[in-house]
């Protein structure tokens, strides 16, 4: 089908035959609202490329933007109790953590991550926390940046205590993330098949439930890109039904489920303690000299 082919060209995602139902269900009202007579006429307009807005709107209509706050509670328990403490131990000197919430849809995952840090302000005092959320959907990223969610959206996974603490009610619209929460996150439109977001490598990448929409070849391409974006000792967190099979860039973490680390590197689960790092540094006079005379690379406190 021409629409499926054009969608794959734009996003890399495969609309297999068992998902063709989505085209009819979604694009019938889409075409009607734009006075487009048929899917063939829509395909022709898209192929001509005269209306970029039409192409972006079609992509948004066909994308699966399913998400929720604290989706898969066990994942966030693992983040809070294992991954983040180990990441803190590994980054104690720099006091900076960069996290990428890839394919974040309307941003609930990124804001959920931000709440983990915001609710432990004393623990993270003096640290710079940067959370980058990205998605290929223009409308999804616009909502994420606005931080505005309907009553239905906040009821999916967000406990009332955290709703009241971190969101302000907006009359007849829903709830908007408070500035102190939004300060942790930035959002950008991004295609996972393209270069990673700028700003340096990420200590932790969450790319959950995205690989399953791509062909094996595209998944390999995505994992290659993610390997260029992750720190040498960083962690990649995938969805429960996803693996890095076929890629030589990542290996499964020996202790944490759904977590993968760069092949040949010491992962976050093997981060050394501060005393071990000090012993390693002192074993080399050159390294010790570098430490004594090096500049202070500490970064400013994240505003919250």
The architecture of the domain spanning 73-270 is: 3-Layer(aba) Sandwich (3.40)
Q: What does the DSSP 8-state code read for residue 254?
A: S
Confidence check: pLDDT of 62 > 60: yes
pLDDT at position 266 is 60
Residue 278 burial (CB count, 10 A):
12
Q: How far apart are CA 203 and CA 200, in angstroms?
A: 10
Q: Which of 265, 194, 195 is nearest to 236 (CA)?
A: 265
φ and ψ of 160, to 5 deg:
-60, -35
Please check whether residue 63 is in contact with residue 140, taking contact to mean a CB–CB distance below 8 angstroms. yes
Is 58's pLDDT higher than 60?
yes
pLDDT in tens, 124-141: 999 999 999 999 999 999
Between 61 and 49, where is the model more confident?
Answer: 61
The whole-number pLDDT of residue 50 equals 80
Which pLDDT band holds residue 275 (cuts at 50, 70, 90)? very low
Euclidean distance between CA atoms 144 and 155, whole angstroms: 17
Is the pLDDT at 115 greater than 80? The verdict is yes
How do the domains of the chain map onto residue ranges?
2-62, 73-270
Residues linked to residue 239 through DSSP beta bridges, in sequence order: none
- pTM for this structure? 0.84
**CA 283 → CA 106, 236, 280, 289, distances in Å?**
49, 32, 5, 11
Q: Could you give phi then psi for residue 92, rounded to 5 degrees?
A: -60, -35
Centre a 10 Å sphere on the Cβ of residue 172 and count the other Cβ atoms it contains.
5
Is residue 234 within 8 Å of residue 201, measured between CB atoms? yes
In this prediction, residues 33-59 reach a mean pLDDT of: 91
Distance CA 98, CA 234 (A): 10
Q: Where are the beta strands (DSSP E) in the chain?
A: 96-101, 128-135, 148-149, 167-170, 174-177, 185-189, 202-207, 230-238, 250-252, 259-262
pLDDT tens digits, 172-213: 999 999 999 999 999 999 999 999 999 999 999 999 999 999
The helix (run of H) or strand (run of E) holding residue 108 is helix 108-118
Beta bridge mates, 214: 13
Q: What is the pLDDT of residue 19?
A: 74
Tens of pLDDT, residues 228-273: 999 999 999 999 999 999 899 999 999 999 999 999 866 554 444 4
Q: Say how far residue 112 (Cα) sits from the centre of its chain.
A: 11
């Amino acid at each position: 089908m021409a629409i499926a082919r054009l969608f794959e060209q734009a996003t890399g995602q495969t609309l297999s035959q068992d998902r063709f139902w989505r085209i009819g269900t979604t694009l019938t009202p889409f075409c009607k609202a734009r006075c487009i007579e048929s899917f063939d006429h829509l395909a022709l307009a898209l192929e001509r490329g005269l209306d970029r807005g039409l192409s972006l709107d079609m992509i948004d209509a066909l994308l699966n933007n399913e998400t929720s706050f604290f989706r898969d509670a066990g994942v966030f328990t693992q983040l809070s109790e294992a991954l983040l403490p180990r990441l803190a131990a590994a980054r104690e000197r720099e006091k900076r953590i960069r996290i990428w919430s890839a394919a974040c849809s309307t941003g609930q995952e990124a804001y959920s991550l931000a709440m983990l840090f915001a609710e432990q302000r004393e623990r993270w005092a003096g640290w710079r926390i940067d959370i980058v959320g990205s998605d290929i959907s223009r409308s999804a990223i616009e909502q994420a940046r606005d931080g505005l969610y309907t009553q239905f959206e906040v009821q999916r996974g967000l406990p009332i205590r955290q709703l009241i603490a971190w969101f302000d009610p907006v009359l007849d619209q829903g709830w908007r993330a408070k500035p102190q929460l939004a300060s942790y996150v930035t959002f950008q439109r991004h295609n996972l098949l393209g270069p990673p977001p700028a700003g340096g490598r990420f200590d932790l990448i969450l790319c959950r439930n995205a690989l399953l929409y791509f062909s094996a070849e595209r998944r390999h391409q995505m994992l290659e890109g993610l390997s260029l974006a992750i720190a040498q000792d960083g962690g990649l967190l995938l969805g429960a039904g996803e693996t890095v099979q076929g890629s030589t860039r990542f290996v499964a973490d020996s202790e944490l489920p759904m977590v993968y680390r760069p092949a040949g590197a010491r992962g976050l689960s093997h981060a050394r303690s501060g005393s071990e790092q000090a012993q390693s540094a002192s074993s080399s006079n050159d390294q010790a000299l570098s430490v004594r005379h090096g500049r202070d690379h500490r970064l400013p406190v994240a505003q919250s």
